[in-house]
């Protein structure tokens, strides 16, 4: 028997801006907390987390490959694996990876469902080489 979570998710805001009223670290709550967690997984490479060497989607390694449909498919597979293993609060509904070879960039849009509330949200980010 599983018990559904009744309290709201919360986390520190990674913008590290203080709360204007209390001057404490600001927090994010609800779906914004989960969205921030998913973005954290996407932007973390393997080996960056101490004692958890396989955490993250390890996407920066794809930036120095030729950006094409095959690379986009491999990026989508890496994202699916990372979300499945690292974020138990969500169900991944869709992964859309668009490659822009002329700009050496990749646009990523995930559609996820938060399991405790059944809310469906989109998480968007992009990856691009700086040189």
Which tens digits make up the pLDDT trace of 90-131? 999 999 999 888 887 889 999 999 999 999 999 999 988 776
Given this model, what pLDDT does residue 1 score?
47
- 79: in domain: yes
Q: What is the CATH number of the domain that holds 64?
A: 3.10.450.40
The total number of structural domains that make up the chain: 1
What is the pLDDT of the chain when averaged over all its residues?
A: 88
- 1: in domain: no
* Domain extent for 113: 10-15+23-128
- How much is the pTM? 0.86
Tell me how far apart the alpha carbons of residues 55 and 69 are, in angstroms, rounded to a whole number: 25
Tell me how far apart the alpha carbons of residues 33 and 9 are, in angstroms, rounded to a whole number: 6
- 101: in domain: yes
């Amino acid at each position: 028997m599983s018990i559904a979570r009744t309290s709201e998710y919360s986390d520190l805001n990674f913008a590290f801006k203080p709360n204007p009223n209390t001057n404490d670290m600001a927090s994010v709550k609800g779906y914004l907390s989960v969205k921030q967690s998913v973005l954290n997984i996407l932007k973390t490479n393997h080996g960056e987390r101490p004692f958890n060497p396989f955490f993250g989607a390890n996407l920066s390694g794809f930036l120095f490959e030729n950006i094409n449909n095959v690379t986009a498919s491999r990026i989508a597979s890496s994202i699916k694996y990372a979300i499945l293993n690292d974020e138990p609060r969500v169900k991944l509904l869709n992964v859309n990876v668009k490659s822009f070879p002329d700009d050496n960039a990749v646009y990523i849009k995930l559609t996820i469902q938060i399991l405790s509330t059944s809310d469906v949200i989109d998480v968007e980010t992009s990856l691009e080489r700086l040189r």
